Structure 1
Amino acid sequence: MIANLSKVNNNWVYQSNKLIEASHSFSVLEQKLIRVLASMIKKDDIELKEYQFKATDLSEILGIHQKNIYKELDTVTDKLMARVVKRKNDTDKKFKKFHLIKIAEFENGILTLKIDEEVKEFYLELKQYTKYQLKNILRFKNSYSFRVYELLKQYEKIRFRELSIKDLRTILDIEENQYPKYANLKQKVINVAMKEINLNTDIFFDFKEIKVNRKVTSIKFAIKSKTVTKGNDEIAATEESLQENNDIKIVKEIIKENILDHEAKKIFKIANGDITKIKEKYKIVSQLNNVDNIVGAVLSALKEDWTSTQGNSRHGSFNDYEQRSYDFDKLEKKLLGWDKND
């Protein structure tokens, strides 16, 4: 039976979290096609089926010109059938590799696809899974956006997800010699994904870099669901959002380090909107030695009303006392409310 794709945007994609966290790298077109196929599977299905699609329908959904559809589908199905999905555990020296597609056939303008039985655990009788509507990913133009979206969607209810740079590279199948510097990885992968996800999907995200000895070793993502409001509520929410954005912008202009929007918002709130006070406390914190967590320190300075005399000497008693007694990571978590999620 030929699939009706007239309302495919509203289809739900159900995937095992094991698949979401597996290592693989597909092109944009491959990822769209495999997810269109996955969206045909119903949550209560007990077996995998063959699905048939009109090439003209796929042309519109996948953004392929109709005169090129045969050639493009021939190429993309070749690649899909050759791709490998890897589940690895380097600690225990284990790995398992899969192909996702078992059958790809094109005849009389109809493409027939079937997912391989070996990966049915990723799509059928799911216990730990993530779901989203197909429309969220169909506008992506960058291949990494698909994977980052699913990784964050998986943790949407938790609102935060921390991934080491090593794990992120493994999941996204990015070799060490590809974007070898973190700055390149951030620019080409994380920032591009953030722009596409925040613009096109049902979630927003921001991120914070976690450093060890000044080297970025992991990323903490802050995830927020988009909500729909109506009428006066929508107007009020928009006005509030605009004001919040302005407050955040002001704080980020003062604090030069990379901070998250919600951190800037908290700093503004604790300072009661006093810009002079924020500048003063940031200046004090900037004079301290070896403070990796600037946000935690600024929040503490505001909360406890540190004075300039306490922070002026880089080798004074306060500086020494601060290093012994303050865990700025814990203080930040407490002040931001993160300790409730840990």
Structure 2
Amino acid sequence: MTIVDTADQEQLTFDNDLVEAEIKPYYWVNQSNALVNTKQNLTINERRLLYALVSLVQPEDKDFKSYVLQTKELASLFGISESGFYERIRETVKGLNGKPLTVKRTKENNKVVIDDIYWVQRATYDEGQITIKLSEDLAQFLIDLKSYTKYQLYNVLQLRSEYSWRLYELLKERERFGKRIFEVKELRDLLSIPDEKLTLMKNFRAVVLDKAKKEIEEKTDIRFEYEIHKKVGRSIHSFIFYIYKNKSNIQSKLSEEAADYDIQSILNRLIAKGVSREKSVAIIKSYHPNYIEDNLRYVLKMEDKGLGNLPGYIISAIELNYAESSYEKDGKNDPLYQLAIGNADNKLKEQTGKDLKVLEEIYSYFITIMNKKKPERTEEIKLIKEEINKTLFKELDSIHDYRLKHRLPPLLIEDFEKSKVKAYFKKWYEDYKEGLPY
């Protein structure tokens, strides 16, 4: 049913959390292992749109935002002609929601219930752009993750086969172990291959496994070999896949812009988990970002167990490699990352200096007014102090929003040690810390 809007009707709108988004191929997709290992039946274009949106979800997000995307940029990102792309996007959204994610769960009485979770909550189509929001029911798979699979968009956007994409995700989830075993029936189910399709094993191997093997090695950061793991009679029961890093592709995709993004993301996450800014900068100067990521992920799995000193545990995990990361420990061997570290450190110091200057200028302005007026009445002094609070708090809100938008760590109390506005920042932090990611 189509609802026709009129001037007298209240218009349905998105929430006020609109974000004008730009998607880059080096953005990271983070999704729970549970989502990776759930049956999905999506086309390549449905996957491209869905995971482009997922790449915009940040670890510190509390809920999903409504993203405004330019159709021209989406078409370019997907490598598709802009002609007719507007309608294709709309059909893609409809296609996504026509294939809900089916999740089975067991209630306390051991009764199994089935949830159908839709991928997109809302979409609005305007001239040259779409505004779109993921379904809130997906939050459990994409926000505040403890056990998750992570990869960069560029690894999947160029894939032409949905089987290649799904197999890439399934192998990426076990990359750190170097192998994964699938029963044939299990793999067919995860790849959504109907019972009546590709029934001959030689066809299954040629169309699915061998084609995926070639395409994944050509276009992604991993490669694999596979062999028969077990037979039952003359039939193949299971395959074992051996997973390797595709180092040539990893290096060829790294750019200065991508390195800046990786370093800034890691720095933000360390600070968000309570590691001091000074120590966080020291860490990114000493270790490779992928190595840090592996050890952060290791700690996050244990966070709910009540670690007494989370920042201290994170530091120990990184220094001692609790995760037994297979990535190179020392980040100093990659000049692009070293350049990015210097850029991040300098950019952060410069922005913090600007922010403090603005806040202190506001404070000095009001102090000058008080000195000129020399208010004698308690009520006048109270009003001016309230105005100082109100103005500084508004500016702190603006600074915080700017830093989030530009992927900069938030201001910390340590930044105000020599500042006249330290007490105001502490009060602002106490009032708003529920909404802050640190």
Q: Does residue 1:141 correspond to 2:157, yes or no?
A: no
The 2-side partners of 1:23 and 1:179 are apart by: 18
Relative to structure 1, the CA distance from residue 43 to residue 153 in structure 2 (aligned partners, 3 Å threshold; closer, same or farther) is same
Matched pairs, number: 228
State the shift of 1:183 in Å. 1.9
Q: Secondary structure at the match of 1:96?
A: strand
Aligned to 1:169: 188
Q: Secondary structure at the match of 1:9?
A: coil
Aligned to 2:244: 224
Q: Secondary structure at the match of 2:187?
A: helix
The 2-side partners of 1:105 and 1:33 are apart by: 15
Where does 1:23-34 land on structure 2 (aligned, <5 Å)? 23-34=39-50
State the shift of 1:93 in Å. 5.9
The 2-side partners of 1:45 and 1:212 are apart by: 48
Aligned to 1:181: 200
User: What residue identity is the alignment partner of 1:3?
Assistant: A
Q: Secondary structure at the match of 2:175?
A: coil
Where does 1:13-92 land on structure 2 (aligned, <5 Å)? 13-88=29-104
In terms of Rg, which structure is larger? Answer: 2
User: What residue identity is the alignment partner of 1:4?
Assistant: E
The 2-side partners of 1:219 and 1:113 are apart by: 40
Relative to structure 1, the CA distance from residue 63 to residue 171 in structure 2 (aligned partners, 3 Å threshold; closer, same or farther) is same
State the shift of 1:95 in Å. 4.0
Relative to structure 1, the CA distance from residue 92 to residue 195 in structure 2 (aligned partners, 3 Å threshold; closer, same or farther) is farther
State the shift of 1:176 in Å. 0.7
The 2-side partners of 1:168 and 1:98 are apart by: 22
Deviations 1:191-229 (A, max 9, x none): 111111111100010111122212111111000012359
User: What residue identity is the alignment partner of 1:37?
Assistant: L
Deviations 1:21-68 (A, max 9, x none): 011111111111111000001122121111111011011011221121
Q: Percent identity?
A: 29
The 2-side partners of 1:227 and 1:109 are apart by: 38
Aligned to 1:9: 25
Aligned to 2:115: 96
User: What residue identity is the alignment partner of 1:120?
Assistant: A
Q: Secondary structure at the match of 1:196?
A: helix
Pick one of 181, 185, 197 that aligns with 2:216. Answer: 197
Deviations 1:248-302 (A, max 9, x none): xxxxxxxxxxxxxxxxxxxxxxxxxxxxxxxxxxxxxxxxxxxxxxxxxxxxxxx
The 1-side partners of 2:195 and 2:105 are apart by: 18
User: What residue identity is the alignment partner of 1:226?
Assistant: N
User: What residue identity is the alignment partner of 2:116?
Assistant: K
User: What residue identity is the alignment partner of 1:68?
Assistant: G
Relative to structure 1, the CA distance from residue 179 to residue 94 in structure 2 (aligned partners, 3 Å threshold; closer, same or farther) is farther
Contact kept in structure 1, 2:27 and 2:152, CA below 8 Å: yes
Contact kept in structure 1, 2:213 and 2:225, CA below 8 Å: yes
The 2-side partners of 1:153 and 1:197 are apart by: 11
Q: Does residue 1:117 correspond to 2:132, yes or no?
A: no
The 2-side partners of 1:221 and 1:72 are apart by: 36
User: What residue identity is the alignment partner of 1:64?
Assistant: I
Relative to structure 1, the CA distance from residue 176 to residue 80 in structure 2 (aligned partners, 3 Å threshold; closer, same or farther) is same
The 1-side partners of 2:186 and 2:119 are apart by: 22
The 2-side partners of 1:126 and 1:95 are apart by: 23
User: What residue identity is the alignment partner of 1:41?
Assistant: V
CA RMSD between the two structures:
2.1
State the shift of 1:4 in Å. 2.0
TM-score by length of 2: 0.50
User: What residue identity is the alignment partner of 1:69?
Assistant: F
Aligned to 1:256: none
Aligned to 1:303: none
The 2-side partners of 1:173 and 1:93 are apart by: 22
Where does 1:236-251 land on structure 2 (aligned, <5 Å)? none
Q: Secondary structure at the match of 1:41?
A: coil
The 1-side partners of 2:113 and 2:201 are apart by: 27
Gapped runs of 5+ residues in structure 1? 231-342
The 2-side partners of 1:218 and 1:97 are apart by: 30
